[in-house]
Structure formats: C-alpha cells, structure tokens
Amino acid sequence: MVVPLDVVGLQNKIIAHPEYIEDLLNDMGFEHIVDRGNYYSFQNIGGDNPKAVVIYKDNLRYENFSHGLHGSIFTLIMETKNCSFPESLKYVSYTLGIQAENIKIILPFGGFYKQLIQEQSDEIVTLKAYSEDDLPDKNSLSWKYLKDGVSLQVQQLCGIRYSHEDNAILTPIYDIEHRLVGCKARNNDPDVDLAHRWYMYIPYKKTNVVYGMDLNYKFILQHETGILFEAEKSVMQCLSFDLRIGMAIGGHSFSKQQVRLIKMMNIKTIIVAFDQDLNEEEIIYESRKLLINTQNYSNRVFYIYDREGIYMPKGSKLSPSDQGKDIFLKLLKNCKYEVFSNG
C-alpha cells in the first residue's frame, strides 16, 4: 500500500535537516552551491552567475534573481523537472529516501518555523483515496456550470462530469497530492428542495481538504497571494477568469487541518472571500485563524465584505465570484479589509 505523504511533515523535515537542500540541488544538476549560513546560493543551470539563485533554510523560500522568479523549493523542483506539485513531493521523498510513514517532525533551530511546527504538529490526516473508475466517464459536462461562469475547458481540467443515472453534476474532490478523496453531487432536478440539492456522491471529510491547492499551488506561490472561498465552484470561476490563486474549504469555518495546509504555503497575502450571507464579525473571526505573526515573519490577511450592498445584495448567498470577473475585481478593489490579531 502506498502511504500518502504528509506535506507539512515533509517540508518541516527538510527545514530540520537543511543539508537535504544541498542534496536536492545536486541531484537536479545545479552547480556552485554555497552554504552561506541562513541560505544556500547557487547558479542557474547553464548560467554564469554563481549567486543567481538562493534558497533560505528556515522557510524553504527560493528567489531567482536572474530570471525574476520566486516561490518555494517545490516551485523550483516543478520548474526544473517540469513536473506537477504532487510529483515534486514524490521526487523529494524518493531522492531523500524519506518514507511517508517515517516522517517525524523535529523542531529545527529556532526562528521562522518553530511556532508554525508547534501549531501544525497534530497527527497526520490520511484520507482514503479512490479510483477514477468509481466515477462516471467524462463523457458530458455541465451546461449549468457553463451558465454559472465555469468554462468547458475548466470543467475538463477539474474533472467535472454528469451522472445521467442520478441526474446530478459531479465535482470530484482531490487532495493536495491530486488523489481522488471524494466527490460532491448537485441534483439537477429543479423541484428538489435546497436542503437536498447537494449530497456526497463519494463521502469524505471536507474539513481535511483545501480544494484547488493541487492545481494552483505553483501560481499561488508565484503571486504570493491566495484567495479562500467556500465553494469549489468559485475556484473554477476564478480559473475561468484566468486567475489561478483560488482555493475552497467547502464551508465557512477553517478547520485545524485546513489552517495547517494554508499556512505551510508561507504566502504573504491571504484574502478570504466567503459568501455574503455571513455577518462581518463571523468572517473576521475566521480570517484571524490564518494570521502568522512570529519574530521573523508575518503575513497579511484580508476579507471581502460588501458593507453597503453595492455589488452584492446584503444577506445574499452569492459568492464574490458568482457575478463575473468585473464585479469580482471591483469587490477586490473596493470591499477588501485587513484583519489584525486581537493582541
């Protein structure tokens, strides 16, 4: 049986053993690797500047000064190996000989990650994986989703399909490693009441998944910004806007596991874009869970709320992405507020 990787545990293992960074760089073919205390510097493959790229030991952030690129060590692997984020995790595990079940989180030298690792040291959450054969073939897409602003290309990318037998639109749910861990269904019968419109086609614990992270990880790190929605469809709408920084949590409350996954990306800006039927105080309370404020690092967390009801009716169950790209960009510009810690 293949045991899924604990992403945060794998990341923290490298931080606790910074010599692993040099092992990975050597394996990928980088040269002029120099340990400079808090970071490694090295040369682009085929380049001539020996200090063109750096990776910081305490957060695995990388900067490519020659090419204007940045992200994490996993971003560097994706760019160098031309692979996906899940494939980069497998590459690290294989190259370093770290088996998922043997990953032990060790508190590294003090600094950036000490507080985060303490926050994230809950037991590993392993979701059951399913086969694509457990779903109907991708032989038809959803015209309703197309009408709601999700392009056919994005539906194909996200694996949307239609079950004629159940008269339902199916949304497969993938974890950060792009394993199929569940599936949501939307009953397409207009006479079905709202309470029974959505149901689990393949049951899963939604509080253990951040939808869209597997697809958008690289782009979120490049932009250093992530947008958190309630619904998976909002992520697809953003993809249809050519905006690849969306994720969804399947509700309006962040679980410990979801906070753990979001914080491990180490991004500077997080925007919470929940449905507008919540009151502002509830959104602020949830948004505060994503704040990072340590001695060496802090992020900024914002939320979207249309206080005057200019773009979205007050109390509406609409998502900020439901009314198209133009309205969404106006909400980002005019209805975005920063949250701060209670302290």
- pLDDT per residue over 17-48, tens digit each? 999 999 999 999 998 999 999 999 999 988 88
Q: Does the predicted TM-score (pTM) go above 0.95?
A: no
Residue ranges and CATH numbers for the domains of the chain are 7-120 (3.90.580.10), 132-204 (3.90.980.10), 213-339 (3.40.1360.10)
Burial classification of residue 125, based on how many CB atoms lie within 10 Å of its CB (0-12 exposed, 13-18 middle, 19 or more buried): middle
pLDDT tens figures, 189-227: 888 887 788 899 999 988 989 999 999 998 998 899 999
Q: State the CB neighbour count (10 A cutoff) for residue 259.
A: 18
Amino acid making up residue 300: R
78 phi and psi, to 5 degrees? -60, -40
Strands of the sheet containing 39-43, edge to edge, are: 31-35, 39-43, 53-56, 61-64, 69-72
Beta strand pairing call for 225-229 and 246-248: parallel
198 phi and psi, to 5 degrees? -105, 140
pLDDT given at position 117: 43
Evaluate whether 49 touches 32 at the Cβ level (below 8 Å).
Answer: no
pLDDT tens figures, 257-315: 899 889 888 889 999 999 988 899 999 999 999 998 876 678 999 999 999 999 988 77
